[in-house]
Amino acid sequence: MGSEQTPPGGGSRTFEFLWREGDRPRSSPGPRPGLSATQVVVAAIAIADADGIDAVSMQQVAKRLEVTPMSLYRYVPSKKHLVEAMFDEASGAPPGLDAVPGGWQVRVEAWVTALWGRYQAHPWMLRAQISQPIGPHQLAWFEALLAVIKDIGLTYEEMVSLALFLTGATQGLARISTDLARAAGEDDLISFGEALAAVARPDRFPTLSALLSAGTFDLPAEAAGEATSTETDLTFGLRQLIEGIEAHVAARAERG
């Protein structure tokens, strides 16, 4: 007897759902047309955009689609699978970096800026619990970045490390940005600078105290028409990282 072949993704139900094909509306009894898995995912995204990821439930999605909660399981295996698909769908297509003028440095910055924009458009993505970034859109973002840095002199392992670091750094700073923005809108919370000033005594936190005295944390979280301070932090850090990669590659080339 021949051995049974393992399907792509090792038989993972999450993998199979994210890479589903032929996602056409299924017929349903009565006059109401059938739904598709993508329609369910899009409805869930609309709820998350309006009220956050915690507001997403099978019941609320069903209510939005005017169907029963149990009927959704014909299209989505579980809420976990729904959230995984929401994250991938909201990621969208990566930017067309080939059209960005300039070298790889400018294209990496364009990639990071576009990813930052995704998280600003859908802040709930920063709190969504997903298992692995294996959806088609997520892999397309990964591929787009790898394609930019594949010929700059890094090993394959270094390429992956750089791509993962850029993804994680962008996610982390985007989450800080959304947290600070949310806190700024709550009357019972003081600003980050005010909180530091209340506790950062010079004897215990001498460096922080010096920065406070210099007014480093006095800048508003967002000025009219200007980037947020966290976005400025991201740009600064990215450019220092790029300079470090350039130096690393140049040193390797000199060694032969």
DSSP code string of 191-221: -HHHHHHHH--TTT-HHHHHHHHTTTT-S-S
Report how far residue 235's alpha carbon sits from residue 105's, in angstroms, rounded to the nearest whole number.
12
Given a cut of 80, is residue 120 above it in pLDDT? Answer: yes
Contact 142, 163 (CB under 8 A): yes
> Could you give the angle at the alpha carbon of 212 between the alpha carbons of 211 and 216, nearest 5°?
65
| Torsions phi, psi for 99 (to 5 deg) | -85, -5
Q: What is the pLDDT of residue 168?
A: 95
Range scoring the smallest mean pLDDT among 68-72, 105-109, 187-191: 187-191
Q: What is the pLDDT of residue 24?
A: 59
Report how far residue 226's alpha carbon sits from residue 232's, in angstroms, rounded to the nearest whole number.
10
Q: How far is CA 138 from the centre of its chain?
A: 9
Three-state SS for 101? coil
Contact 212, 220 (CB under 8 A): no
Arithmetic mean of pLDDT, 161-168:
96
| CATH no. for 34-90 | 1.10.10.60
| CATH no. for 92-189+220-254 | 1.10.357.10
> For the chain, which residues make up each domain, given as ranges?
34-90, 92-189+220-254
Task: Look at residues 242, 125, 251, 101 and name the one whose alpha carbon lies nearest to residue 177.
Answer: 125
Taking only the tens place, the pLDDT of each residue in 7-62 is 444 448 888 999 987 675 655 554 455 799 999 999 999 999 999 999 999 999 99
